[in-house]
Amino acid sequence: MSQPFACSRVFAAAAVFATLVTGTLVAGAVPSGAVESGPGNSPVLKRIAERNTITIGHREASVPYSYLSRDQKVEGYVIDLCTKVVDAVKERLGKPDLQVRYVPINTTNRIPLVANGTIDLECGTTTNTLARQEQVAFSPVFYITGTQVLVKTASGVKEVEDLAGKRVAVLQGSSNEQSLRALNDAKKLGIELVYAKDLAEGALLVETDRVDGFAADGGQIKVYAATKARQPGSLAVIGRLLTYDPYSAMMQKGDPDFTLLVGRVFADAFRSGEAEKLYDKWFGPLGIGLDPILKTAFEIQALPR
């Protein structure tokens, strides 16, 4: 047994030496703070380089986070942040003409599509949870919201408990559904859950009186009530925050290199104030200002290089 042991010690010493040498060389060759180039050990970056395409998952109707515009363009606050990641990938791989492919996703298929590598980076409105981290990796948090309820203003409903015994729509597979189900069971409210496919359908169920409320991420339904209500002011968002929902972008688990690249891009955006500018660009026109808690989150996550 002594022979292989000695052998591995030699290898280890050689490896340390090699690291020192290359480390010095790299540090000498490029300005400090720059990162390595090429895909390195990252399976995701290798995949992107091979196909010369980065695949971005987007939502179709989550205005203004991630959606298809009227002229069928993918855009939004999250898409702008992800474009920064695309730029960083282009630079890292030395491929200025890297193609971007957009794949529409929904709440039920987004995690499998990321886990099986169909999508390189998911840019939607996904809550970062520890349970989900068992299947996927997450970017830093770029938005913070919580579950609230969209109701008709005329209904006079003020709190979730007012909806006891009524019908409430939820998005199938969302964290909102899980929280409402838990509250319903804990307080025996007898709320009947109705399942909707996306934000537009959930809101339609409220507007056509098929349900009395629609529980979803507060930020998103506020935007809906402000911009899409059939009669302005007919819809209201009510209630305390039932959950804490920090949004992050998802990527395949088990690729620390790519996760670090994404983390670096977000930290840069938070530090330089660009994230705040993008927020104002998308939410300003809707009259929704930067929440102090989100501003703090930006500051805390602006890690130094």
Partner 1 sequence: MEYHWNWGVLFEPPYFGWLVDGTKWTLLVAATAWVLALAVGVTIGVARTLPWRPVRALGAAYVDLFRNVPLLIQLFLWYFVLPEVLPAEMGRFIKRDLPNPEFWTAAVGLGLFTAARVAEQVRAGIQAVGQGQGMAAAASGMTLAQSYRHVLLPLALRQILPPLTSDFLHVIKNSSLALTIGLLELTGQSRQIESNTFQGIEALTAATLVYVAITLVVTVAMRAVERRVAIPGQLARA
Q: Which is nearer to partner 1, 166 or 264 (CB)?
A: 166
Q: Which of 149, 152, 148 is nearest to 209 (CA)?
A: 152
CA atoms within a 13 Å half-sphere pointing along the CA-CB vector of 163: 26
Q: Shortest gap between Cβ of 168 and partner 1 (angstroms)? A: 12
Q: Shortest gap between Cβ of 277 and partner 1 (angstroms)? A: 34
Q: How many CB atoms lie within 10 A of CB 295?
A: 14
Q: Shortest gap between Cβ of 136 and partner 1 (angstroms)? A: 8
> For 30-158, where are the alpha helices, taking DSSP H only?
43-51, 77-93, 110-115
Q: Shortest gap between Cβ of 133 and partner 1 (angstroms)? A: 10
Q: Which is nearer to partner 1, 205 or 267 (CB)?
A: 205
Q: Which is nearer to partner 1, 58 or 110 (CB)?
A: 110
Q: Which of 29, 27, 123 is nearest to 81 (CA)?
A: 123
Q: Which is nearer to partner 1, 132 or 222 (CB)?
A: 132
Q: Shortest gap between Cβ of 24 and partner 1 (angstroms)? A: 35
> How far lies 225's CA from each of 63, 235, 237, in Å?
11, 5, 7
Element (H, E) at 277: helix 274-283
Question: Alpha-carbon distance 77 to 124, whole Å?
Answer: 9
Question: Alpha-carbon distance 115 to 121, whole Å?
Answer: 11
Q: Name the one residue in this structure whose structure tokens are 């971007």.
A: 100
Q: Which is nearer to partner 1, 152 or 167 (CB)?
A: 167
Q: Which is nearer to partner 1, 75 or 207 (CB)?
A: 207
Q: Shortest gap between Cβ of 195 and partner 1 (angstroms)? A: 4
Q: Which residues bind partner 1 (CB under 8 A)?
A: 107-108, 111-112, 115-117, 131-132, 134-135, 167, 169, 172-174, 178, 194-197, 204, 208-210, 252-254
